[in-house]
Amino acid sequence: MIEPTIVAVWIGRFLLATFATVAAWWLLKRTGPWLLGLVARLDRRLKARGRGVSLVSVELISLDTILGIVQAGIGTLRYATMGLTAYAWLLVITYALDESHKVFDAVVQPLVRAVTSLGNAIVDFIPNLAMVIVIVILGRFAARTLTLLTAAIEEGRIEFPWLDRDLVAPTRRLAVIAVWLVALIMAVPYLPGSESKAFFGVGLAIAIIVSLGSTSATANLLGGLVLTYTRAFHVGDRVKIGELDGEITSLGAFSTRLRTSHDEELVIPNSIVQSGVVTNFSTNAQKGGVQVSISISLPYEIAWRKVHELLLVAAKHVDGVNQSPEPFVLQRALGDSGVLYELRAFTDRAHEIEFVVARLHQSVQDTFFNEGLEIAAPKLSATREARSLRVPDGRKNIKLERHASPSRAAPVKPAPLVRAPQASFVVVNKEDEAEPQKTEQSEEVEEKD
């Protein structure tokens, strides 16, 4: 027969285990809302304060950073509380239900050793932790000071002859990165486990991976630095990179973005840009004008002085062509059947080079048609079936006007085109050159008869 004392002991143990279970469940249920309320109260108080931790006029830790640290700390506390509660419940259950307490000792001893080791590690790490905090504060102070200094340079309150304003932003980023790299190098020896072989092994593995996998990225990064500090071009410039022509929309650390005249955005690695040939049209356009040119081939029958005069007149009626420096004409080649002329002009509209060239062609056509001159230079030994010049009908009514720039916002409706009749050519042999003369003579004899 079971003794009443033993029954009472087991009933007490069962009640203790039940109480521990209910208490653990209640604590876990209340921990979450209580910690969330604590976060809300701290958030309101910090926002009411309106500022972070500052030294003199330099803000060391911003308000958002403090809020993030508080929320992360309270979240960690929540999970730690849940773990400790579950562990305490396990201790109570094992103590209540195990009369020999062997299971209790097996559960408690690891905790005692872990707490002892953790306590000793924390005590030993306190001086190193203080040094890490000092390094972080100094790094934050230096980075903030650089930010304020560069902001003053950008606003013009401070001037350095060797630092242009357009280089302030990249210089600030590089300086801040350098500050934090120095801070990291200084803080690593004070971190736990920094002297272990595992730490050195992981660091070596990361260094090998970075060195082998970032060759192109490093080349692009160095190319971006070279392009930035040599000031080969700026955002908004019209440039030609190799065979690619367009407007610079951005110059990043690893790539350059170019928008072409067809509204296509090209992403070019900085290493390619830095190693290639870059033509900047905007630089000369701001200093007096960038050259634009068109070529025209005319027969020898037209006096070259007349051609020069007409080409210069045509250039003066084009919107976008500078009158100073004045346009000029070059005779580029004396061909078998004609002379190759080149009209060169200057424009300060680097972003409208295609439109300026198109208006030059239009103006040249109008000018020559008004003079009754046909723009044609046959490359074969040929004779026309029709003897008259081929120019558009009504050419005397063409009025030379200054060709304006097209507006993208309000497109100008183009004037109707007057198509010139196509001249037909008949290729003849030199042996048959006398036959047309004989035919004409025979026709004249028949008319007399």
- In this predicted structure, what is the pLDDT of residue 36? 75
Note whether 294 and 430 are same-domain residues.
yes
**Would you give the end-to-end CA distance of the chain in angstroms?**
164
**What does the DSSP 8-state code read for residue 279?**
E
Q: 3-state secondary structure string, 17-61?
A: HHHHHHHHHHHHHHHHHHHHHHHHHHHHHHHHHCCCEEECCEEEE
**Could you tell me if 310 and 439 lie in one domain?**
yes
Q: Is 127 among the domain residues?
A: yes
Residues 320 and 227 placed together within one structural domain of the fold: no
Amino acid at 219: A
Decide if 258 contacts 279 (C-beta within 8 A). Answer: no
User: Which of 229, 254, 283 is the last residue before a domain boundary?
Assistant: 283
Share of the chain above pLDDT 70, in %: 71
DSSP tag of 382: E
212 domain residue, yes or no = no
In this structure, the answer to whether residues 15 and 148 fall within a common structural domain is yes
Same domain, 295 and 439: yes
- Check if the beta carbon of residue 392 is closer than 8 Å to that of residue 352: no
Extract the tokens encoding 48: 């009411």
Q: Token digits for 25?
A: 């469940």
- The alpha carbon of 316 is separated from its chain's Cα centroid by a whole number of angstroms, namely 40
Separation in Å, CA 317 to CA 285, 359, 360, 412: 20, 9, 9, 18
Residue 205 domain flag: no
In DSSP notation, 203-261 reads HHHHHHHHHHH-HHHHHHHHHHHHHHHHT---TT-EEEETTEEEEEEEE-SSEEEEE-T
What tens digit of pLDDT does each residue of 272-316 get?
888 888 888 888 777 778 889 999 988 888 899 999 999 999 998
CATH number at residue 383: 3.30.70.100
Same domain, 142 and 252: no
Structure tokens at 381: 């030994």
Q: How many C-beta atoms surround the C-beta of residue 419 within 10 A?
A: 8
Q: In the chain, what are the helix, strand and coil shares in percent, each to the nearest 5?
A: 60, 15, 25
Check residue 325 and report its DSSP letter.
S
Name the helix (H) or strand (E) containing 333.
Answer: strand 328-334
- pLDDT of 249 strictly over 80: yes
Q: Which two tokens stand for residue 72?
A: 């992360």
Give the least confident one: 56-60, 123-127, 222-226. 56-60
Average of per-residue pLDDT across 3-23: 67
Tell me, yes or no, whether 420 and 312 share the same domain: yes
pLDDT value of position 382: 44
pLDDT at 411: 40
Instruction: Over range 323-343, report the average pLDDT.
Output: 89
Query: Does residue 197 lie in a domain region?
Result: no
pLDDT tens digits along 127-140: 888 899 999 999 99
Most confident of the following: 29-43, 108-122, 143-157: 143-157
Nearest CA to 291 among 332, 248, 320?
320
Range of the domain at 379: 288-443
Task: Mark whether 437 and 293 lie in a shared domain.
Answer: yes
- 384 shares a domain with 298: yes
Based on the fold, state whether residues 227 and 243 are members of the same structural domain.
Answer: yes
Q: Which two tokens stand for residue 88?
A: 């305490």
| 168 lies in some domain | no
Query: Does 370 map to a domain?
Result: yes
pLDDT in tens, 374-386: 786 545 434 444 4
Whether 203 is in a domain gets the answer no
Asked if residue 104 and residue 49 are part of one domain, the reply reads yes
Please determine, for residue 416, whether its predicted confidence score (pLDDT) is greater than 70: no
Into how many domains does the chain fold? 3
Cross-sheet strand order for the sheet of 265-269: 265-269, 255-259, 244-251, 238-241, 278-280
Residue indicated by tokens 């108080």: 45
In the prediction, which pLDDT does 440 show? Answer: 47
Q: Is 375 exposed, middle or buried (0-12, 13-18, 19+ CB in 10 A)?
A: middle
Q: Indicate the residue among 264, 283, 302 that finishes a domain.
A: 283
Least confident segment among 44-48, 141-145, 438-442: 438-442
Indicate if the pLDDT at residue 373 is higher than 70: yes
Q: What is the CATH number of the domain that holds 228?
A: 2.30.30.60
**In a domain? residue 148:** yes
Cis geometry, peptide bond prior to residue 325 (ω within 30 degrees of 0): yes
Please give the mean pLDDT across all residues of the chain: 75
| Residue 335 pLDDT grade (very low, low, confident, very high; cuts 50, 70, 90) | confident
Phi-psi region of 161 (alpha: psi -120 to 50; beta: other; left: phi over 0): alpha
Domain boundary (244, 259, 283) is at: 283
| Tokens found for residue 342 | 């080149």
Record the tokens describing residue 288, joined without a space.
Answer: 């007096």
Same domain, 253 and 308: no
Residues 90, 103: Cα–Cα separation, whole Å: 10
Phi, psi (degrees; rounded to nearest 5) at 54: -130, 155
pLDDT interval class at 11 (50, 70, 90):
low
